[in-house]
Structure 1
Amino acid sequence: METECFTWEELEKLAYVLKAVAHPNRLKIICLLSKNGEMSVSDICDRMGCSQALISHHLTDMQAKGILLIRREGRNAFYSMASDHVTEAMRCMMKCTK
């Protein structure tokens, strides 16, 4: 099955990524990382005012789905965006909602 502009496989991949970021906390994390580059879990928690358990859950899931990169240094974990594609898509979607 194919639409005019996307194959079925492309649509499945797009839905997978959209589901992975479809939460306000996850979108806020993406904004923070896009603006600040690499950040530690504790820095993200401080900026968001959420518990470490909640933030870690979101970070781990987005990292597992290829949206975020992780770098470990001792007991600390530092996250960054895997690419700027998700942020670009967010900007595009915001234009569509205006």
Structure 2
Amino acid sequence: MKATEKDICEERCFHPQAICLARAGMLEDRTIQELAEMFKILGDPTRIKILHALSKQELCVCDIAETLGMNQSAVSHQLRTLRSARLVKFRKEGKEAWYSLDDDHVITLMCQGLEHISHDGRR
């Protein structure tokens, strides 16, 4: 038996009640697309670093760039992406742009992800 065949049903069968429950609980296509896009945005290591830094405190773009060892232009590009996904927000104070996490849901996402990758002694 091939390795890829071990994780499929050996016999074609259906469980109508399970199918009905699964279909009843399905998300709308638009919601699925939005969720996939958010996870795609969270799938970038630089963005994770930025979010982690902002989970500690509000930072200006200069501070984020220095913390990550990047130039402001590269950081600004990533912040625009995070802002369009409503993961961060910003405010202007004079000539400085200050960023913070949009809300507590962002911290929850980060914590849940960290918890998931570290359970079962994987890390």
TM-score where L is the length of structure 2: 0.69
Match of 1:83 in 2: 103
| 1:3 to partner: Cα distance | 6.7
| 1:15 to partner: Cα distance | 1.0
Structure 2 distance, partners of 1:64, 1:85, is 16
| 1:90 to partner: Cα distance | 2.1
TM-score where L is the length of structure 1: 0.84
- CA-based RMSD of the aligned residues comes to 1.8
Is 1:93 matched with 2:113? yes
User: Which structure: larger Rg?
Assistant: 2
Q: Tell me the amino acid that sits aligned with residue 52 of structure 1.
A: Q
Is 1:28 matched with 2:49? yes
What are structure 1's unaligned runs of at least 5 residues? none
What are structure 2's unaligned runs of at least 5 residues? 1-22
Match of 1:64 in 2: 84
Match of 1:43 in 2: 63
Structure 2 distance, partners of 1:18, 1:3, is 24
Q: Tell me the amino acid that sits aligned with residue 46 of structure 2.
A: N
Between the two structures, name the one with larger relative contact order (CA 8 Å, sep ≥ 6). 1
Q: Tell me the amino acid that sits aligned with residue 73 of structure 1.
A: E
| 1:21 to partner: Cα distance | 2.0
Identity over the aligned pairs, expressed in percent?
A: 30
The number of residues matched between the two structures is: 96
